[in-house]
Structure 1
Amino acid sequence: MQITSINVGLPQIITYQGKELTTGIYKTPVSSSLFVSKIQMDGDGQADLTVHGGVDKAICVYPEEHYAYWESLRGHKLEAATFGENLTIRGLQEHEVHIGDTFAIDEVIVQVSQPRQPCHKLAKRMDWPEATLYVQETGYTGYYFRVLKEGFIAPDSKMKLVARDEAGVTVAFANHIKYHDKVNREAIKRVLTVDALSDSWKQSFRKRLAELEA
């Protein structure tokens, strides 16, 4: 596991197809250490707090390995933090990490809380209307960390696994049940055994399960 970039940015107003839009998806790599709180990194912010940010989505993570796929599909090189991620990480893709896994990044302790759900602002960021759907279909979504212990991190910070979640539900598995195998009741129940799963995803899966069992 290696952090290849730490990225932050405050919300800004952009114009897309003649309309103004406030978004926090534009992030810039930093070269110095910064403080990580329970809700965000210093210098970072989200525009719509009803669906972004908060304790369950304090840090957005995206695997560096996926960039080559998107660049080949789009036919050009992508800018750093194109997916609005705070951490670009190598060696920790969706099929390799479990919801509830805990990691130490120097003095900061983080825990995987849920897959990332791309919104329409990613499509606008990439000027690619189908971007959100493609991300969901591929499962190359990235994921979120909640912060269990605050502290400072830097671009050269070392990252190590502290504990694996005993349920063993990968981000990739949760994505598959969310977007593809939607009526698999046993799989939904398995996802719901993960105590560390974010409240919003628990509510979503509980609602779906209730509808299937009605």
Structure 2
Amino acid sequence: MKKIGMVLDINVSEKKGVVKKPVEKGIFKEDYGLEGDAHAGKWHRQVSLLGIESYRKMKDLGIKGLSHGDFAENITTEGIILHELPVGTRLRIGETIQEVTQIGKQCHTGCAISQQVGKCIMPKEGIFTKVVKGGVVKQGDIIEVLE
């Protein structure tokens, strides 16, 4: 049975360590990342993803007023527990194919996200990908885990 999820939002920022703002669609370039985003480049963490399921955990902890992009993720998803995917997993997201390169990360000390939100879930539950095949990704696109 295929794992299928959905893109809730595409988020970008021009600087690292800040909250990202939703955009209508993202143009993802092969071996580069999301056009116009500070984290894009020729490295292993070109795109960051975080599930709405992680947002719900934060809300359950009493954190109010969260918006997609608050944890600096490029793609807010629903329907797949992202941090359970092994490194090397390939995902078809909209027109793109992306490969999981890292689960979680070390958080910047006192980054804008933890200052604003009080705690960041990205270090444990966010995932990072590199773009294997470029294309457009927009809200409502399907995410498919490729076998």
The TM-score normalised by the length of structure 2 is 0.80
Q: Which residue of 2 aligns with 1:40?
A: 33
**Against the structure 1 CA distance between its residues 78 and 118, is the aligned structure 2 distance closer, same or farther, given a 3 Å change threshold?**
farther
Shift of 1:42: 1.6
Deviations 1:31-52 (A, max 9, x none): 2x33101222122114xxxxx8
User: Structure 1 or 2: larger strand share?
Assistant: 2
> Highest CA radius of gyration, 1 or 2?
1
Distance 2:87 2:80 in 1: 12
Greater mean alpha carbon deviation, residues 97-106 or residues 80-89 = 97-106
Deviations 1:130-177 (A, max 9, x none): 735x765xx3x31101111112222132221222xxxxxxxxxxxxxx
* Relative contact order higher in (CA < 8 Å, ≥ 6 apart): 2
Q: Which residue of 1 aligns with 2:53?
A: 65
Aligned residues: 142
Distance 2:110 2:9 in 1: 19
Q: Does structure 1 conserve the Cα–Cα contact (< 8 Å) formed by 2:91 and 2:143?
A: yes
User: Structure 1 or 2: larger helix share?
Assistant: 1
**Against the structure 1 CA distance between its residues 159 and 119, is the aligned structure 2 distance closer, same or farther, given a 3 Å change threshold?**
same
- Runs of 4 or more above 6 Å deviation: none
The TM-score normalised by the length of structure 1 is 0.58
Q: Which runs of 5+ in 2 are unaligned?
A: none
**SS of alignment partner, residue 8 of structure 2:** strand
**Against the structure 1 CA distance between its residues 129 and 78, is the aligned structure 2 distance closer, same or farther, given a 3 Å change threshold?**
closer
**Against the structure 1 CA distance between its residues 54 and 130, is the aligned structure 2 distance closer, same or farther, given a 3 Å change threshold?**
farther
Q: Which runs of 5+ in 1 are unaligned?
A: 12-22, 47-51, 164-214
Deviations 1:58-107 (A, max 9, x none): 11011111112212324422122111000111122245312111111232
Report percent identity of matched pairs. 23
